[in-house]
Amino acid sequence: MRMRSLLPLLALSLFGSGCSSTDTRPLPRPPSVDVPRFMGDWYVIAHIPSWPEREAFDAVESYALKPDGRIQTTFTYRKGSFDAPQKSMHPVGRVEKDGNGALWGMQFIWPIQAEYVIAWLRDDYGQTIVARSKRDYVWYMARTPQVSESDYQQAVQRIAAMGYDTARLRRVPQSVR
């Protein structure tokens, strides 16, 4: 299936999830995010995935700040195995004015924007958790393709404390680089 035909499905899955939580507490956020420092490659370590990501291997989210302030995003992954062909999506993000750098809108198809909240960010910008208020999707990402088991378990605890059902969390297989 061509990626272009997957984009409307992704948009629908981001907005029409029947698996969202009833938790209405605001998501935590770091006091501020240095957006230029946040740019670059992030390996998806674990997630509650949207439909296209369900069988992702080697998932990497890459951000590049454009001169107009928007964020060019490239999400690459292999579907179903390490040997599968690489696929990619190219949404564009924008930082919300009132979010201290932690609240973004992510646009997969115009004019629909998905909420994107940097809910936790390690002080050294080495790991992050990106969440949504609906508690339908979450992404735990790191600057490296592997994290320690201790870091992983701490992230799972953080995600649970945000109101997510961590039984739905999927660890993303990453090949050793």
- CATH label of the domain that carries residue 128: 2.40.128.20
| Joined tokens for residue 18 | 């029947």
Position 55 in a domain: yes
Position 99 in a domain: yes
> Which of 145, 141, 170, 136 shows the shortest CA–CA distance to 15?
136
Half-sphere exposure of 72 (CA within 13 A, CB side): 6
| pLDDT tens digits, 63-105 | 999 999 999 999 999 999 999 999 999 999 999 988 899 999 9
Q: Could you tell me the pLDDT band of residue 9, with boundaries at 50, 70 and 90?
A: very low
Averaged pLDDT of the chain:
89
In this prediction, residue 177 carries a pLDDT of 58
Question: What percentage of the chain exceeds 70 in pLDDT?
Answer: 88
In this prediction, residue 21 carries a pLDDT of 55
In this prediction, residue 69 carries a pLDDT of 93
Position 176 in a domain: no
Residues in contact with 40: Cβ distance below 8 Å, sequence separation at least 6, in sequence order: 62, 63, 143
Enter the pTM of the model. 0.86
In this prediction, residue 109 carries a pLDDT of 76
Half-sphere exposure of 6 (CA within 13 A, CB side): 14
Total number of domains in the chain:
1
Hey, is 79 helix, strand or coil?
Answer: strand
Hey, is 28 helix, strand or coil?
Answer: coil
Position 109 in a domain: yes
In this prediction, residue 24 carries a pLDDT of 81
Domain that holds residue 86: 3-14+25-169
If you average pLDDT over residues 13-36, what whole number do you get? 74
Residue 142 predicted with pLDDT over 60:
yes
Position 19 in a domain: no
